[in-house]
Structure 1
Amino acid sequence: MESADSREEEAPLVVGELPKNHARDVHVLSFAFLFIFLAYGAAQNLESTVNTEHDLGTTSMGILYLSFTLFSIVASPMVRMLGSKRALVLGTTGYWLFIASNLKPSWYTMMPASLYLGFAASIIWVGQGTYLTSAARSHAKDCHLHEGTVIGNFNGEFWGMFASTQVIGNLISLVLLKNGEEGKSTTGTTLLFSVFLGSMTLGTILMCFLNRRDIKGEGLNMPYDSFSSSVVSLLKYVISPLCDKRMLLIIPLLAYSGLQQAFVWAEFTKHIVKPALGESGVGGAMAAYGASDAICSWFAGRFTSGLSSITFIVSGGAVLQMVVLLWLSAEIQLD
C-alpha cells in the first residue's frame, strides 16, 4: 500500500509523450470555450432578472457555486482518472444541461441542472489548465523554445478569447431581447436560450476534435486496491493543499473574488441595470463590462510582467473596487 501511495503522490497531472499539432489544439480549445461561455456568461448575467419567481434565478446560481466549491475538492483526481480531454468533454455537458433547463425554468429543472453544473465546472476548469499546460510544454520541447514563454503565449490566446465571451454573448442578449416585452415573448428569452443552446452544442462538438494528451496507465489511473486505500488517497488530495501556507493566504482573495462576481452577476444586474435600462439593457451593460475587463486585463498583464510582487496591483484594484461600490451604494440610497 505504501508503494501504491508513493506512486500516486509522485504521479504528475501532466504527463510525458504528447501528440503533435499543439498550437492547433490550443486554437480548438479556445474556440470551444468561446462558444460555450459566450452562452453561459450571458445567461448567468440574466438569471436574476428573467427567473424572478421565488428568486429562482438567484437561488440556482447559489446552488451552482456551492456545488462548484464542494466538487472542486475532488476535481483533480477525477481529471487524473478521466484524462484531460474526457474531462473537458464531460464538463461541457453540465453547461449544456443548464442552458437547456432555462428553456423550461422551474425548481424541478434548474435545481438539478445547477447542482450538476457545479460538478461539471470543477472538472472542466482543472481539465483546461491541465490540457493547456500539457500543450505548451510539448510545443516548447518540440520547437526548442523557452517553456515559460510558450505557456504565456498559449495562455494569452486562450484568455484573450475567453474575455471576449462577455462582449459577444451579452451583445446577442441585447439584440434578441430588445424587442421582447420583459423578455417573455417568442423573440425574447425562448429564442435567446435556443441560440445559446446551439452555441453550446457547437462548443461541445469542437471539444471532441481535441487530441488526447494523456498516456493510458501512466499517472492517470489512481490505485484502488481497496476501499480504505481509495479513501485515504482522496483525503490526501484534499488535505495536502491546506498544509501549504500559500494556499491558506490565497483563500481570502478567492472569497473576495467570488463575492465580487456574485454582486456583479446578480445584485448589480437586478437592482441597478434592470431598473435603469430595462431587461434588454442588461446585455448591453454587461457587454461593456466584459470589454472593459478584457482591455484592463491586457494592460494589467503588461504592467505586472516586470513586477517582483503583485501586492501593489492587487491592493490598488481592491481600493478601486471599494470606491466604485461606495459610489453605487450612494446612488442606490439617493434613489
Structure 2
Amino acid sequence: MVNKSLLNVILVGLGFMLVFTAFQTMGNIQKTILASVQLDDPDFDGKAYYSLAIIYVSFSLFNWTAPSIISVIGPRLSMVIGAGAYTLYMLQFVVPQGWLLYLCSAILGIGAAFIWTGQGNYLTLNSTKENISRYSGIFWCLLQLSLFIGNTFVYFTFRGLEEINKTVRIFVILTLSSVGVGGLLILLFLPKATRDDETEATDKPESPWSAFVGAVKLFCTFNMLLLSITFIYTGLELGFWSGVYSSCIGFTKALPNRKELVGMSGIFMGLGEIIGGGLFGILGNKTVRYGREPIIAAGFVIHVASFIIIYLNLPDESPFFDTFGCAIISSSPFLAILCSFLLGLGDSFYNTQIYAMLGSVYADSSAPAFAIFKFTQCVGASASFIYAESLGLYWQLRILLITVLIGTVSIIIVELRVKKSSAE
C-alpha cells in the first residue's frame, strides 16, 4: 500500500513532469524556433538567450520574496500560480513579438520563484530525514521524464526537416502548452502535506517579514555561502545544457540530420536525468549510508568528461548560427548524443544530493533554504545565457570546467562539516 506522503511526492512529481515537458522542451528548442520565426518575419528582434537570461534574473530576484509569500498562501497555491506563469510563457510563442517574449520571460521568472520554492517546501513537509534522499530521487526522476517525453515528441515532429515552418511551429507550441495545463491541474488538486506517520505536516508559522529576515540570515551562514558556490555552478551548467548545447548541435552542419539530433539530444539528456534520479530514488536509503561525497565526486568526473568531449567535437561558433566550421576532431553525432546523456546524468547526481541535503540539514527552514538555492542557481543560469550571446563554445566550456571544480570542493566541505557537527 502506498503511504500518503509517498503518494503526495508522486503527484507533485507528475505535475512538474507535465509543466516542464512544456517548458524544458521549449528551452531546448527555443533558439531553433526563434530562428524559424525570423525567417518568416525579418523584423522580429527577440533573442532566445536574452529571453532565458531575463527568466533567470527575474527568478533570482523574486526568490527573496518567495518564503514570505509561501508563509501566507502555502506551498500548494504557490505552485499553482507558478504553473500558470509557465503556461502564459508557452502561449506567447503563438504570436511572436520581441517585447511580448521579454515581458512573459519576466513574468515566468516570478512564477518560477513561486513554483520551485513551493515545491521544495512541499517535498520537505512530506519527508523525514530517513526518506528525504529517496523522495528527492523519486521527484527528480519524475520531473526529468519531461525531457524524455517532450524531446521524443520534438524528434519525430522535426524528423526530416531542414527548416521549421510556421505550421510545425504552432503545432509544437500548442501541443506543449496543453501538456503544461495538465500539470497545472494536477498541482491545483494536490492534497495537504503528510509525513509517514500520516500526521499533517506544517512549517512553523512565520510572518512574511520574519520569513524574509530568516532567509537573509540563513544566506549569510558559512555553510550556505559555501553551498551557494555549488548552486551557482549548477545554474551555469543548467543554462548550458538546457539552452545552449542542443542549439550547438542544431547549428553544426557537419552533423548529419542535425535538426533531428536536437530532439535526440534532449531525449538523451532526459535519459541521463531519469537514470540518475531513479538510481537514488530506488537506492536512496543505501547510498546515503556512504555519504554524499562519492555521488558528488562521480557527478564531477562525468561532467568534466562531457565538457572535454564537447570541446573536441563541436566548432567554437556553434552556439550562434549555422556553421560549416571545423571542430578539433571530425564532428560525430554519436559523441554529441553521448555528451547529452552525460550532461543529464551528472546534473542528476548534483541536484538529487542538493535536494536531499537541504531537506535534511535545513528541515526546519526549508522554504528559505530552497529559495536561496534557486536564487543562486538562477544567478548562474542568467549569467550563462547572457554570456552565451557573445562567448564562443570553447570559452563557455572553460568557465564550466573552472566552476565545476570549485563548486564540487565547496559542497564536499559542507558535507564533511555537517557530519562532524552531527558526530559531536
- Equivalent in the alignment of 2:73: 82
Structure 1 residues 159 and 271: CA distance shift in structure 2, 3 A: closer
Q: Which residue is 2:269 aligned to? A: 289
Alignment match, 1:116: 107
Distance across 2 between alignment mates of 1:250 and 1:25:
28
* Corresponding residue for residue 84 of structure 2: 93
Alignment of 1:22-171 (within 5 A): 22-52=5-35, 53=38, 54=45, 56-137=47-128, 147-148=129-130, 150-171=131-152
Distance (whole Å) between structure 1 residues aligned to residue 75 and residue 315 of structure 2: 47
SS of 2:63's equivalent?
Answer: helix
Within 5 Å, which residues of 2 pair with 1:1-335?
21-52=4-35, 53=38, 54=45, 56-137=47-128, 147-148=129-130, 150-178=131-159, 182-186=163-167, 188-213=168-193, 219-220=204-205, 222=207, 230=209, 233=210, 236-275=213-252, 276=255, 277-299=257-279, 304-308=287-291, 310=293, 312-328=297-313, 334-335=326-327
Question: CA shift at 1:255, angstroms?
Answer: 1.8
* Unaligned stretches of 5+ residues in structure 2: 39-44, 195-199, 318-324, 328-424
Inter-partner Cα distance in structure 1 for 2:188 and 2:277: 30
1:298 Cα offset (Å): 4.3
Deviation at 1:324, TM superposition (A): 2.9
One-letter amino acid matched to 2:145: S
Deviates most, 80-89 or 296-305: 296-305
* Native 8 Å contact 2:9 2:126 kept in 1: yes
Superposed displacement of residue 294, structure 1: 2.2
Quick check: which has more Rg, 1 or 2? 1
Following the alignment from structure 1 to structure 2, what is the Cα–Cα distance between the partners of residues 74 and 278?
42
Q: Give TM-score scaled by structure 2 length.
A: 0.63
In structure 2, the residue corresponding to 1:51 is in which secondary structure?
Answer: helix
* Deviation readout 1:275-316 (Å, 9 max, x if unpaired): 333334311221112112322454577595343451633543
1:58 and 1:330 map into 2 onto residues whose CA distance is: 19
- Amino acid corresponding to residue 247 of structure 1 in structure 2: M
Give me the whole-angstrom Cα distance separating, in 2, the residues matched to 1:203 and 1:160: 16
Q: Write the letter of the residue equivalent to 1:49.
A: T
- In structure 2, what is the Cα distance between the partners aligned to 1:248 and 1:125? 20
Q: Which ranges in structure 1 are unaligned for 5 or more consecutive residues?
A: 1-19, 138-146, 224-229
Distance 1:184 1:75 in 2: 39
After superposition, the CA RMSD in angstroms is 2.9
Deviation for aligned residue 1:120 = 0.9
The TM-score, its normalising length taken from structure 1, stands at: 0.78
Distance 1:91 1:235, change over 3 A: closer
**Percent of aligned pairs with the same amino acid:** 21
Cα pair distance change 1:298/1:30, threshold 3 Å:
closer
In structure 1, what is the Cα distance between the partners aligned to 2:138 and 2:272? 17
Which amino acid counterpart does residue 150 of structure 2 have in structure 1? G
Q: Measure, in 2, the Cα distance between the counterparts of 1:167 and 1:304.
A: 25
